[in-house]
Structures are given as C-alpha cells and as structure tokens.
Copies of this chain bind each other. A is one copy, B any other.
C-alpha cells in the first residue's frame, strides 16, 4: 500500500477553518490513491498557554505533571481533525500517544521514542480509515504521559512514517520549503527542491527552524524521505511542490555551499591571560560539563611567550549567567586573569557536503566579511559546515553578502 504520513504544525491547525483546510489536503492525497496517516500539533498558542498555567503555579514544576497538562493540546487537535475528516465523508479516528502506544523513555519534557506499536493503526489504515495521531507525546512503559520536547511533533511524524513503512513523510507548515537562507532577511533566498539528510541536519542544527533536529536525525537513520511544504499554498500539477529531504545525489555535489543558517541562541565567553600549561582546557570545561552546560564553538589563542593564552567559547544564551558564575567560582583553580562575555553575538554557518575539500570556501567567507568590515570572533569548520561568530548587529548584512558571494541569489 502506498502510504503517506502528513504532519500539520500549529499554524496549519491554528483555528477551526485551518483544521478544515488541512483536512482538505488529506482528502486530496486520498483522491490521488494514497492511504494516509495524519500527525497534528496543538493549535498555535495552546501549548504556550498550558505551559503558562504550569509556570503560574510553580516556576519549578514537576516535569511529569507538566507533560500530562501540555500533551492535551495535541489530543484536542487530533479529535477535531478526525471530525473534520468525517465532515468530508472520510472514515477517520484519533489516536493519543498511549492509545497506539508510542513508547518513550521516562525523560519527561524531552522523552526519546523507544518503539511505536503500530499494528492496530496500520490495520485500520489498510481498511481505509485515516489514522490521526496526536503529535509531541508518548507514554512510558508504566503508563505515564511524556512529551518529546519543543517541535516534537515533527519527530512523532517521522517515527510514525518509519513504523508504518510509509512512502514519504510530508511536513505541512507555514513556509513552502527549505530555503538557501532565511528569506525574511535575504529576499533573494531560493527554495531548494531537494536537500540531503546530512545538509538538512546541519541546517536544522545550526539554526534553520523549519524542522526539529531530532526528526531529521531519525529520517536520516531510517532513510525516510521527508517533504517540507506549505499548508496554505494551493499547488496544482506539481507532484512534489515543497523541499524533499532525501539521499544526496550527484547533482548536489556541484554546489559546494547549499545553504546558510544562523542562530542567535549562543553567547560568548572569553577567559583572558590563562596559564598556558597542560590541562587548562579540562579545568575550564570540566566544571561547565558538570553543571550541565553545553559548550559549542571553542578557540584558544596561541600564547606569545609560553605562559599566557586566551580562550573563547560559546554557551547557550539562557546558560550564560550560570556559566560565568561557575567559572568565577573556579577562577583560582583554572587560573585566568579576567573574563568577558557577550550575548550580542550571532553564529553564521555555511552548509554543504564536502566543504573541507574545497580550500577556497572558507577564504571567500573571510574576504566577504572583511570587505563589509565585519569582525570574526570565532571560526569553526567541519566536513559539512563552516561557521563564524560575529556581532549580532551585522547579521543581516553578513547573510546577504555571503548569499551573493556563493552564487545562491535567485535570478
């Protein structure tokens, strides 16, 4: 059976009319001869409202009860979507996470999927029913409700597609695909018809918000094609109107830089005049790791006379205050002269497979930014991305200049 999983995000089911519109998209796929499973997010704003209730009772709430509360948003949408499908004459029923069951570990708020017991929903879909699963949620082995973390419905959808051996997982959202960079900042950004799993994973990890990172990881692991497309456009005639995330192919190797991502979620810390002796990195990053703070970009300056060096790195912006406190407490043990930090920084990342083997890529980036008078604070490279940290105020200027420099501008 040719089965497609269709996932609708919060804005796509933001009110009753939009739920009806999404049901229309499902009806179209069924008319094309597909069997369909639907995965829905909460109506936009609902999850935030429910989280707000929890916070209003206690800023340090129990994650298990938080999950019991916030998971209801998707349950409402799933039921309403089933009703909207009935209204179109389709057979449909809703499935909450515990009904399938979608089994997770017990890490409430950031639970990871262990297994999906998909036999019952598969049988009913084969009999012609549309299965509508509440996204974002699962259940532990001992029957407590869990949630998968922000954006988790993408992951729910890909996981269900894998469990049902679907042909494709379509992620309906408020943009019509994945762009070479943020089109709100760079009007010449182009929609990519295809992008490889590896590049999509980098783009998502480095700030592109169109897909949850974990959903791309799962799609890559199981080679599940994922299409990102708009709920609001009326595409006619095109079989794949959005961006297909799939295997890399020959064509893609021709362009070194596929896309440019950016994120404002990191803050910079610099420790000045460190004793440059073995073990200094361990003394800096050990206490941060024990405090549960992830360090991302790191650059250590070579010392001038063998006794002094600086070290600069980034941490998640919400962890900045905690990180500086940890480091201040450890100042004597680490042995540094001064500490400076900034949360007004942006990380800009070029993404493309085989980037490291193209020597000119990084050079072009540095020249382009230098031409515009933009100072680079940290540089980081990998096989698939080249990232720099710059002052946030240059974000738009840098994105537009780099987009042009790598020939990504639309004609």
Binds B, one of A73-81, A186-194, A235-243: A73-81
A83 to B96, Cβ gap below 8 A? no
Q: Interface residue count for A (Cβ, 8 Å)?
A: 35
Q: Nearest Cβ distance between residue A113 and chain B, in whole angstroms?
A: 20
B65 to A82, Cβ gap below 8 A? yes
Separation of A65 and B143 alpha carbons in the complex (Å): 22
State the majority secondary structure of interface residues on A.
Answer: helix
A404 at the A/B interface (Cβ < 8 Å)? no
Q: Which residues of B contact A141 (CB under 8 A)?
A: none
A50 to B76, Cβ gap below 8 A? yes
For residue A57, which residue of chain B has the nearest CB? B83
For window 34-68 of A, CB contacts with B under 8 Å fall at 50, 53-54, 56-58, 61-62, 64-66, 68
| Known contacts A65-B82, A68-B79, A76-B50; A19/B87 CB under 8 A | no
B65 to A79, Cβ gap below 8 A? yes
Q: Nearest Cβ distance between residue A55 and chain B, in whole angstroms?
A: 10
For window 339-377 of A, CB contacts with B under 8 Å fall at none
B69 to A76, Cβ gap below 8 A? yes
A94 to B79, Cβ gap below 8 A? no
Separation of A295 and B56 alpha carbons in the complex (Å): 49
Q: Which residues of B contact A144 (CB under 8 A)?
A: 99
For residue A86, which residue of chain B has the nearest CB? B62
A65 to B53, Cβ gap below 8 A? no
B53 to A76, Cβ gap below 8 A? yes
| Known contacts A64-B93, A93-B64, A96-B68; A57/B76 CB under 8 A | no
B93 to A80, Cβ gap below 8 A? no
For window 66-108 of A, CB contacts with B under 8 Å fall at 66, 68-69, 72, 75-76, 78-80, 82-84, 86-87, 93-94, 96, 98-99
A16 at the A/B interface (Cβ < 8 Å)? yes
A20 at the A/B interface (Cβ < 8 Å)? yes
Mark A residues whose CB is within 8 Å of B.
16, 19-20, 50, 53-54, 56-58, 61-62, 64-66, 68-69, 72, 75-76, 78-80, 82-84, 86-87, 93-94, 96, 98-99, 143-145
Question: Would you give 26 A-B contacts (Cβ < 8 Å), ordered by A?
Answer: A16-B56, A19-B57, A54-B80, A54-B83, A57-B83, A57-B84, A58-B83, A58-B84, A61-B83, A61-B86, A62-B82, A65-B86, A66-B79, A68-B75, A68-B79, A68-B82, A68-B96, A69-B75, A69-B76, A69-B79, A69-B83, A72-B75, A72-B76, A75-B75, A96-B145, A98-B98
